[in-house]
Structure 1
Amino acid sequence: MTHTFDDTNGAASPGPDLSGAPTQISIDGHVVSVLATLAEPALTVFGNLFTREECEALIASAQPRLARSRTVDRSGGTAVSHESRTSDGMFFTLGETPLIDKLERRIAGLLRWPLERGEGLQVLRYGPGAEYQPHYDFFDAQDAGTATHTAAGGQRIGTLIIYLQSPISGGATTFPQIGLDVAPIQGNAVFFAYPQATPASLTLHAGAPVTAGEKWIATKWLRVRRYA
């Protein structure tokens, strides 16, 4: 299926086709379940976005390249380690392997957003006690470092979090502004859009501390324009 999108900063927001209130969406023969939706913010919880085998293969590919996760330094735009984020992570480049290419194309079809407007998949591991404190994924226009990040692809406008391994307990993705917790169930995912880079988007979210076991996730950030 071919999709056409506005290539300006006023581009339509990414997201699944929820017309008719579907319970399932088929992307190239892979059936994804629609488990929950919200209108404000535009948020969808999916089931079976990745299979168990795909999750395990992605973890195996990522594991040798893990390093301490970083956050954006708001003053300079560089990536720095911070106590608010205590996971380990790595990035794949777009289409780096046949598996990555297949999964990225599935995501692009599901969210109706071109491959080239997405950052590479990031894989993260959260051990016991690890968390990511409440934050927004867009770049704040008031921060001095934002121009550095938006130079490549413009503003972020959507986030997809895919759960690759369920912890024994803890590790939910929480949305404190709307009182929602999404359980980290292997193969499931949560998508949320923020067409406007403002707290009014209601997309403040966090990775709650893992209390037992390990949580693995993959994150896909979507941009307004081609990311390079």
Structure 2
Amino acid sequence: MIVEKISIISNELKEWMQNTLNSGVAPELVVDAMIKKGFDPRFSYTTIFRMIRNHSVQTTDNCPYVYELPPIARKGSLIHTSDHVPIKVIMSIEKPFILLLDNLLSEQECDELIALSKDRLRRSKVIDSETGKEKTVPGRTSEGTEFMVLENRLIARIEKRIAELIDYPVEYSESLQVLHYNHGEEYKPHFDFFQENKVDASKGGQRIATLLIYLNDVEAGGETVFPKLGLSVSPKKGAAIYFHYGNSKGQTDRLSLHSSTPVVMGDKWVATKWIRQKKIYE
């Protein structure tokens, strides 16, 4: 799978670059930082030259998101993997690209994953937009844990199935996370991708897609909501949502804004896989 270099910047990154240049930092150091973040070298040099000469620079904010079909879009409405019954596509949206999938995990696999997670839960965190470090915030009130890639037979089987489903190697995905929401807990509207100046090319670069798997039925509440679309999805045990929000140009789709509504009755268990633009590890 060929990963193209990024060749467009956001207004936010443009402002950071301009401020950095104004502070006296050498242009070649700014270029080096861009290349390390996954930007095309020629584009990086050209952009710096244009900024130094006070010429206009096109950004993602004045350039519409370019939709590109991910590999899973070409697999039809019944997707086969090597170890499982066919996975059904029961809903699809083109812009942003969203698939609702049924029967990704069996009921037994869901129960086993929950049982493995219960004694490992800790308060869920988010990535701080300023420092790049994890922190807890009032808008995300769930508990969670993560499993090392191929940690045990169950995780290895699920990892392999996901890789076959979405057609991205395991090496492109973050470790599987399991989240638990008690009564009243939620995750307010957010994006899964990183701010452009916080993308770490040495750790797989930008997130480009999310696979969210429901591990139990919820009596009331706990819907996944895409507010810019007016779309709300109720949890269904073994089902999943796949949404793709990153393209080969380095753009991210802001229509992918989403939230998890408060649990009204019962509790909610989900498993999450985040996909990066390139390998996280070898």
Correspondence 1:73 to 2:124: no
Aligned-partner residue type, residue 170 of structure 1: G
Q: How high is the sequence identity, in percent, across the aligned residues?
A: 38
Within the alignment, does 1:28 sit opposite 2:57 as a pair?
Answer: no
Q: TM-score, normalised by structure 1?
A: 0.90
Residues in 2 aligned to 1:33 and 1:26: alpha-carbon distance in whole angstroms: 9
The secondary structure found in structure 1 opposite 2:256 is coil
Residues 159 and 15 (structure 1), Cα distance of their counterparts in 2 relative to 1, 3 Å cut: farther
Unaligned runs of 5+ in 1: none
Q: Which runs of 4+ in 1 moved over 6 A?
A: none
Compare the two structures and name the one with the higher strand fraction: 1
Deviations 1:174-198 (A, max 9, x none): 0001111111100000000012566
Higher relative contact order (CA 8 A, sep 6+): 1
1:190 match: 241
SS at match of 1:151: helix
| TM-fit CA distance, 1:17 | 4.0
The structure 1 residue matched to 2:231, chosen from 180, 185, 196, is 180
Instruction: Please report the TM-score for the alignment, with normalisation by the length of structure 2.
Output: 0.73
Distance change in 2, residues 1:170/1:205 (3 Å): same
1:184 is aligned with what amino acid? P
3-state SS, counterpart of residue 90 of structure 1? strand
1:135-190 per-position Cα deviation (integer Å, ceiling 9, x unaligned): 00000115xxx14x443110000000000012210001000011111111000000
Instruction: Look up the match of 1:49.
Output: 104
Distance 2:265 2:225 in 1: 17
* Cα-Cα RMSD: 1.9
User: Rg bigger for which structure?
Assistant: 2
Please point out which of 238, 257, 261 is paired with 1:204. 257
Rounded Cα–Cα distance in structure 1 between residues aligned with 2:83 and 2:194: 35
Alpha-carbon offset, residue 62 of structure 1: 1.1
Greater per-residue helix proportion: 2
What is the alpha-carbon distance in structure 1 between the residues aligned to residue 69 and residue 152 of structure 2? 28
Alignment-mate amino acid for residue 68 of structure 1 = R
Count of aligned pairs between the two proteins: 218
The DSSP-based 3-state class of the residue aligned with 1:181 is strand
Deviations 1:55-110 (A, max 9, x none): 00011111111000001111101000100100000111111111101101111111
CA distance in 1, matches of 2:5, 2:244: 15
Written as runs of structure 1 = structure 2, the 5 A alignment for 1:71-110 is 71-110=126-165
